[in-house]
Amino acid sequence: MMVPLTAELSATTLVATGTQALPLLGRLTRPRFTWDFTDPGAIRFANEHQVDGGPWELWEYETITPASPH
């Protein structure tokens, strides 16, 4: 499914939010994705969703680090 997003960029974060709620498993769901580049060696990523107009819920959180050379 394609989701239209709007994005806001600051000095250390990029936040992309769905412009509208779309059906997902029978419920209206709107996504929000956040990348925090405060530490370029440990980029934090959050995947949140708003279900049926409720509060934002954290669905996934990761810290992205560079791969070590082989």
pLDDT of residue 70: 62
Paired tokens of 26? 């029978």
List Cβ neighbours of 32 (8 Å cut-off, separation of 6 or more): 15, 16, 17, 18, 46, 47, 48, 49, 50, 56
pLDDT of residue 68: 72
Q: Which one, of 9, 60, 54, 47, lies nearest residue 27 by Cα?
A: 54
Does the pTM surpass 0.75? The reply is yes
Instruction: Report pLDDT digits (tens) over 5-63.
Output: 999 999 999 999 999 999 989 999 999 999 999 999 999 999 999 999 999 999 999 99
pLDDT of residue 39: 96
